[in-house]
């Protein structure tokens, strides 16, 4: 549906339900391969605010979510922003400026929180300290290669990480997960 409206969505981009993308100038929104938009993300590519109070034209500036960038739930990306390659936006953020490659931002307005490398190493240390909190969840939307591939070693360390099919929700869906686990085992 978004493609039919003119949004430039690469073949391997992923858009969750509830995402709202620019109605006035959708062709100015670009999602590259492996870009991920979580539930409720809002993306703008034009600014008509000044136009409503003064005789000034609307401004249209391309808004780009680059290769393997992830935008968290209910974040807002403002017009003209580029979210760099392998970057992330934490849920609930308002991004008003470009996000450099391999950077994680958050807040309102969003500011740099850490680099991808810092996040990856801290997450991996969490795996080592409390492996019972983690579930291995293969993600078909993940880019085939990332700059962190050579840095993360938890698989080689054979940490006791559970399979995501062992995760229980406390809902009737647990029966489905149990049936899948029985077939697997």
Q: CA 12 from chain center: how many Å?
A: 13
Choose between 131 and 52: higher pLDDT: 131
What digits encode the pLDDT tens for the residues 108-154? 999 999 999 999 999 999 999 999 999 998 888 889 999 999 899 99
What digits encode the pLDDT tens for the residues 151-172? 999 989 998 899 887 877 778 7
pTM here is 0.87
What are the structural domains, with CATH classification, of the chain? 1-185 (2.160.10.10)
11-30 mean pLDDT: 92
């Amino acid at each position: 549906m978004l493609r039919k409206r003119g949004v430039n969505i690469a073949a391997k981009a992923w858009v969750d339900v509830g995402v709202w993308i620019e109605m006035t100038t959708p062709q100015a929104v670009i999602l590259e391969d492996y870009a991920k938009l979580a539930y409720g993300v809002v993306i703008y590519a034009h600014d008509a605010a000044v136009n409503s109070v003064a005789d000034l034209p609307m401004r249209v500036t391309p808004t780009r979510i680059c290769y393997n960038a992830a935008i968290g739930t209910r974040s807002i990306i403002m017009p003209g922003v580029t979210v760099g390659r392998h970057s992330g936006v934490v849920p609930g953020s308002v991004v008003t400026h470009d996000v450099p490659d391999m950077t994680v931002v958050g807040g309102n307005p969003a500011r740099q929180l850490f680099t991808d490398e810092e996040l990856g190493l801290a997450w991996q240390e969490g795996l080592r300290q409390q492996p019972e909190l983690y579930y291995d969840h293969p993600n078909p939307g993940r880019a085939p290669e990332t700059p962190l591939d050579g840095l993360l070693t938890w698989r080689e360390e054979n940490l006791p990480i559970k399979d995501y099919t062992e995760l229980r929700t406390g809902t009737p869906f647990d029966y489905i997960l149990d049936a899948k686990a029985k077939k697997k085992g």
